[in-house]
A and B are shown apart, each in its own frame.
Chain A
Amino acid sequence: MAAEASRDSGAIVRVRGLRYRAGGRDIFAGVDLDFPRGAVTAVMGPSGSGKTTLLRLVTGQVRPDAGKVEFDGQDVAELSREALYRMRRRMGMLFQNGALLTDLDVYENIAFPLREHTRLPERLVRHLVLTKLQAVGLRGAARLMPAELSGGMGRRVALARAIVMDPELLIYDEPFVGLDPISMGVVLRLIRRLNDTLGVSSIVVSHDVREITAVADHCHLLSGGLIVASGPPAEVAASSREDVRQFMHGLPDGPVPFHYPAPDYADQARKVG
C-alpha cells in the first residue's frame, strides 16, 4: 500500500511526520516532505537546521524517533542491513568534501563500486570508468591521486563515482562549499545535466541560495525543525514570511537574531567592572 501511495504521488522519497532529536533538541519536529521523481529538489536552511541529518535519514544512516522516511515506497528504517545496502545501490551520494578514498587514484576510486558489486571484465570496467570521467570532463585526470586534485576536481571525480552504478537518486550534500566561481558553475551545470540526461532524481542540500535556486525545480526551506516554505524557487523567494525572506535574501537580522542569547549587556559590563 505504502509503495503504491509513494509511486502514485510521483515522489521517489516521501517523508511523513518525521521527528528526530539529537543533542537535547528537536532537529525535526513533525516534517512532511516529498521529493518528486525526475526533478532537482533543493533542501535549504541555515547552518544547523538539520539538512545533512535529513540526508542521513533518507540514506538510512540514522533512524527517526517517529514518523517515516520512504524511498520508492520502502520505509527506510524498517529495512534489514542487506535490504538497506540493496537500496543504497540505487542511490549515489556526493559528500561535502568529495570523500574520495585517499589511497586509490581517480580511476580506482570510480572503479571501486564496480569492483565491489560486479564481476565485470577489466575492459568493461575501464570503458565505464572512462565514460563517467568523460561526463565530468576529467578523463585526462584518471591516474592522479586525490591529493593532487583541486577542490572542484575532487567534487567532480566524486560525482563520477556516484553515477558509475547508474543510480536512480543522486544526493548532493553541500556541493558548492569551498569552490571557486568557475568550479561552482561547472558543478551546477553537471547537477542539472546529469539529472536530465540520466533521467535520475536529485536532492541537493545547500545554503547557497543564488546557486541552488538557479538549478532546482523545487525547494524546501527548513528552519526550527519544520518546513517553513516549499515550492518552486521563485515562489519561495517571493514569500512574505519574515523567516523565509531573511534566509532567501541573506538579511543579517530578523527572526534569526544577529546576537546569540546573552544576559543584558549593561548588567554584564557592570559586574565585570
Chain B
Amino acid sequence: MAGAIRELRSSFEDAIGALGRYALFAGRLAAETPRALLRFRLVVEQVHNAGALSLVIIMLSGLFVGMVLGLQGYDLLERFGSEESLGTAAALGLLKELGPVITALLFAGRAGTALASELGLMRATDQIAAIEMMAVDPVRRVVMPRFLGGVIAMPLLAAIFSMIGLYGAQLVGVQLMGVDQGQFWSQMRGAVELGDVMEGVLKSGVFGVACSLVAVYEGYHSQPTAEGVGRATTRTVVISSVSVLLLDYMLTAVML
C-alpha cells in the first residue's frame, strides 16, 4: 500500500515537473515569437512543410467526413421531417467541432510526427550541437520557424477541411439523397452566424499552438538515439491527441 502511494506520488510529481518544463518552453517560444516573425521566409518554408504537405490527407479526410455527415445527418433529420436543415447541421458540426478537432488529430499524426522526428534526428546526428557550436541558438533558428509554421498552418487546414467537408455533405445530401439544393444552402446561410465560424477559428488556433508545441518540445528534447526519436514521435501523437480532445471540451464548455 505504502509502495503504491509512493509510486502515485512520484508519478504525480513527474507529471507536474513535465507540465512545468512545457510551460517554460512555451514561455521561451512566446518570447522569441516577435524576432522569429522578422525572418518570415523561414516561417513560410515551414508553413509549406506543415501545411501544404498535409493538404492531400486533410482534403481527402474532409471529403469523407462530410459525406458521412451527409448520410447520418439525412437519416436523423428525415425522422423529424426536417432534412432541409441538413446544410445547417453539417455546417455547424464541421465549423465548430469536426473541422478543428479532426484536422488537429490528423495534423498531429502527419505534420506533428514529421516535426518531432526531424528535430529528434537533428539532435541524434549532432546537427543541433553543431548549430550551437556555430554560436547560433537552435531554439531561435530551428525550433521557432517550425513552431510558427505549425501554428499558422493549422487554422488554414481546418478551414479547408470544413469547406471540403461541406462539399461532401452537399454531394451526398443533395446529389444522392435528394435534399433541395436551395434549402440546403439558404438554411445554412440563415442559421450559421459569425460567432460559430469564430469558434472554429479559435479552436483550430488553440489546437495549432498545442500540437506544434508538443511536437517541437518532444522532438527537441528527445534522447539522441533511434529509440529516443521513435519514443518522441509516439509521445507527440499521444499527448497531442489527448490535449486536443481535452482542450476541445474546455473550449466548448466556455463558449457555449
Contact = CB atoms under 8 A, between A and B. Distances in A.
Interface of A: 59, 61, 85-86, 88-89, 91, 93, 95-97, 99-102, 112-113, 116-117, 158, 161, 165
Interface in B77-136: 121-122, 125-127, 129-136
A221 to B, nearest CB: 25
Given A86-B135, A88-B134, A89-B135, A116 B126 contact: no
Given A97-B125, A97-B126, A59 B141 contact: no
Contacts of A117: 135-136
A35 B125 CA distance: 28
Contact of B126 (A85, A96, A161): A96
Contacts of A59: 133
B134 A99 contact: no
Interface size class of B (residues with CB under 8 A): 10 to 19
A86 B136 CA distance: 10
Nearest to B141: A116
A95 B123 CA distance: 13
A88 B133 contact: yes
A88 B135 contact: yes
A116 B132 CA distance: 12
Contacts of B122: 101-102
Interface in B23-52: none
Contact of A99 (B129, B135, B136, B137): B129
Given A97-B125, A99-B125, A113 B130 contact: no
Contacts of B135: 85-86, 88-89, 113, 116-117
B236 to A, nearest CB: 19
A117 B141 CA distance: 12
B132 A61 contact: yes
A69 to B, nearest CB: 15
A112 B136 CA distance: 10
B136 A93 contact: no
Contacts of B136: 112-113, 116-117
Nearest to B126: A99
A112 B134 contact: yes
A102 B127 contact: yes
Q: 6 tightest A-B contacts by CB?
A: A99-B130, A99-B126, A85-B135, A88-B135, A93-B133, A95-B126
Interface in B133-186: 133-137, 141
B103 to A, nearest CB: 25
30 contacts: A59-B133, A61-B132, A61-B133, A85-B135, A85-B137, A88-B134, A88-B135, A89-B135, A93-B130, A93-B133, A95-B130, A95-B133, A96-B126, A97-B126, A99-B126, A99-B129, A99-B130, A101-B122, A101-B127, A101-B130, A101-B131, A102-B122, A102-B125, A112-B134, A113-B134, A113-B136, A116-B134, A117-B135, A117-B136, A161-B134
